[in-house]
Amino acid sequence: MSDCYDLDPTDRQWPAESEPWSRLRPLHWVWRLITDQIEVTSVDLPVRRLPSEFYGLVACQASDFHVDSEADLHRLQQAVRIINGQSPDLVFLTGDYFSDCKSMWRYIGEFRQALGELKPPLGVFAIAGNHDHSLSFWTIAQALRNSGACVLANENHSLELKGSRLFIVGVDDLWSDRARPSCAFRGVQPDDCTILLVHNPDAAPYVRHLKPGVMLSGHTHGGLIRIPVYGSPVRSFLRIGRQFYSGLNRYKDFYIYTNRGLGAFPLSLRINCRPEVSLFKLTGWPRDMQIEKSRAARVEATGLRIRSSPLLT
């Protein structure tokens, strides 16, 4: 299920009446409508070994901002308003915030201010993308931290809820040769539940042995062009296959969700592939949920009371 949101028309950047291109304003409107209409994709996200206390938590993911112009900045600001409108418990940001140094230095202040509006109760978690390391990730990371985000560079952060733990794990970028999965999972036990953030879906073969609960990525921009049924005609630049360009897909024994991103690079071109904010409702795997049901039944048989999850009743 998905919903689409337009930018406020008063926010749109029009060519001035005196400019030679002003007569093309109607075409400019259509073009901005295509590139700025953000789609909110609602997904029940299956997380392996998810403790029942975390069932039903709401999380949002945004990726690949590529804030290189005023239009990109306005799209980010709109995405923040959309995310806040969903009242998520968690927010995940999965890299590629700018495309070049010039745009980074120009928009870093507005970038920090926009993300500072995000106030999910359980936190904002961010990782780097390949473009971020070709710029100055130290500068970007500082802006993210100043906005209130927890930046994970081959690190993890644990969340506790009613005695149960969930680890948010951030693996650094694969293409930049900075990915260190073993460091990122340090202190995480094999039976612990994890939500893995990694920019590039191609990291999947390198993290599988660490048994992630679920993996959230970006990087692909959804393929930019999508044909109904067929998908993207763009030749796969992912080793694991172009089916992982967007959406929820199973890889071996865990799921990957690939966000289509807010921006586009190198051209601001999208056809049937709108910018995306992902809206997740955390759920367990069917087998995990059956185990929880069995456990609840055993405990109830002993006359003890436990907190029941709405997904287990």
In-domain check, residue 13: no
The span from the CA of 170 to the CA of 178, in Å, is: 12
* Domain presence at residue 238: yes
| Residue 308 domain flag | no
Structure tokens belonging to residue 168: 């948010």
The reply to whether 312 falls in a domain is no
What is the pLDDT at residue 267?
A: 62
Q: Is the peptide bond before 51 cis (omega within 30 degrees of 0)?
A: no
Three-state SS across 198-238? Answer: ECCHHHHHHHHHHCCCEEEECCCHHHCECECCCECCCCCCC
CA geometry: angle 123, 129, 131, nearest 5 deg: 135
Residues 34-58 have a mean pLDDT of 91
Torsion sign, CA atoms 135, 137, 143, 147:
positive
Largest Cα–Cα separation, the chain: 80
CA distances from 94 to 32, 46, 112, 221 (A): 24, 19, 16, 12
- H or E element that contains 167: strand 164-171
The type of residue at 101 is: C
Quick one: average pLDDT of 245-253? 94
Percentage of residues in the chain with pLDDT exceeding 90?
60
Mean pLDDT of 252-268: 86
Residue for token digits 């915030």? 97
Q: Is the pLDDT of residue 286 over 80?
A: no
Q: Residue 96: which CATH number?
A: 3.60.21.10
**Residue with the larger pLDDT of the pair 173 and 224:** 173
Q: Answer yes or no: is pLDDT of 313 > 60.
A: no
Closest listed residue to residue 77, CA positions, set 30, 109, 43: 109
pLDDT of residue 309: 36
pLDDT of residue 37: 86
Tell me the average pLDDT of the chain.
Answer: 83
More reliable by pLDDT, 32 or 45: 45
pLDDT, mean of residues 7-22: 50
Residue-level pLDDT at 288: 63
Tell me which of 105 and 232 has the higher pLDDT.
Answer: 105
pLDDT tier, 306 (very low <50, low <70, confident <90, very high otherwise): very low
Q: Is the pLDDT of residue 166 over 50?
A: yes
Average pLDDT of the residues in 152-172: 96
Considering only residues 295 and 103, tell me which one the structure prediction assigns the higher pLDDT.
103
Whether 83 has a pLDDT exceeding 50, the answer reads yes
Residue 12 lies in a domain: no
Question: Is the pLDDT confidence value at 217 over 90?
Answer: yes
**Beta bridge partners of residue 254, listed in sequence order:** 251
For residues 279-308, average pLDDT: 63
With beta carbons less than 8 A apart as the criterion, state whether 284 and 50 touch.
Answer: yes
Please report the pLDDT score of residue 310 as a whole number.
36
Q: 4 with 38: CB under 8 angstroms?
A: yes
Query: Is pLDDT above 50 for 203?
Result: yes
Q: Output the pLDDT for position 66.
A: 92
3-state secondary structure of 148: coil
Residue 121 placed within a domain: yes
How confident is the model over 91-141, as pLDDT tens digits?
999 999 999 899 999 999 999 999 999 999 999 999 999 988 888 889 999
| pLDDT value of residue 263 | 86
* Calpha distance 150→213 (Å, rounded): 20
Phi, psi of 87 (to 5 degrees): 50, 55
Within a domain: 25: no
Least reliable range by pLDDT among 26-35, 170-179, 202-211: 26-35
pLDDT, one tens digit per residue, over 172-191 is 999 888 999 999 999 999 89
Contacts of 124 (CB under 8 A, 6+ apart): 90, 91, 92, 93, 115, 118, 147, 148, 149, 150
| Two structure tokens written together for 313 | 């009743």
pLDDT of res. 236 = 62
Contact 278, 86 (CB under 8 A): no
**In the chain, count of helices (H) and strands (E)?**
8, 13
Per-residue pLDDT reduced to its tens digit, 274-285: 899 999 999 998
As a 3-state breakdown, the chain gives helix, strand, coil percent values, each rounded to 5, of 35, 25, 40
> What is the domain range of residue 134?
38-302
Q: Pairing mode, if any, of strands 254-258 and 247-251?
A: antiparallel
Q: State how many domains the chain has.
A: 1
In a domain, 29, yes or no: no
